Structures are given as structure tokens and as C-alpha cells.
Amino acid sequence: MRKILTILAGLLFLVSLSSCINLNKEMNFTQNYTYAVKLQDKDAEKEVVDFIESYFMNGSKRPSYFGKIHDVTEKAGLYFQECVTAPEVTNYFSSCIQDEKDYIVLESYISSEHGDCWVGTWSWQWSNKDQRMVN
């Protein structure tokens, strides 16, 4: 039994080591987004969803990067912050928040052949009607 556990621990170590090697490898990444929208006004909710999908998901706000994950995450975070603090975005989303139960949440992540890596989250809600970023 001890021998089997030793072998399994060794295999787990090798798998972990191979995963860490990819962290320091230069790769191609693409910036992507997910969102959650809950507005009491369903017409406004549909408009916000359409805006997010056209502006962030299907528009030019999905740059590609090449580099190590740490460097790319930093660049993507700065780009994400620049995008969500643009006046046309903040003014529009803030104007859509009309009820204390309303919220708009936008999350950014970078994707590579090895999976996704979270970049940041920005939210608009009634309690602060302004944006906040979580890093």
C-alpha cells in the first residue's frame, strides 16, 4: 500500500511540475469576457446585453497577446480597466441602473491553449452607481 501511495505521489508531482512549466512559457492569449446583467426593466436589460456582446465580445475589444502569462495578465488588466472606464461605457451602464436590485457585472479573462486565466471584474450596481474593479 505504501508503495502505491509513493508512486501516486510521484505521478502527482510530475503532473504539477509540467503544469508549472507552462506558466513560464511564452504563448498566444486572447482577451475574452463574461457578463451578468439583471435589470428590472427587461427592455433595458436586453439593450445592455446587446451592447456588451457587440462592444466587448464581438467588437475590437478582444486583443491578442503573446508572452508569459504574468506579463500578459498585467497588460490585459490595464486594457480591461481602460475599456470599462471609458466614458461611453460608464455613463451608459450607470444610466441603466434604476433600481436597487439592478446590477451589471463584466469579467475579463485571457485564454490560451492551456486554459483560461481571470484578469478582473468590474460591476455597476445601485448601491454605488459607479464602477468598481476587483483585481
Structural domain boundaries in the chain:
27-134
**pLDDT grade, residue 53 (50/70/90)?**
very high
For 62-105, the pLDDT digits (tens) are: 889 999 988 999 999 999 999 999 999 989 999 999 999 999 99
In angstroms, the CA 76 to CA 94 distance is: 23
pTM (two decimals): 0.75
- What three-state secondary structure class fits 110? strand
CB 70 within 8 A of CB 102: no
- What three-state secondary structure class fits 37? strand
What is the grid cell recorded at 118? 481571470
What phi, psi does 28 have (nearest 5°)? -90, 135
Q: Residue 86: name the closest of 114, 47, 55, 110 by CA.
A: 55
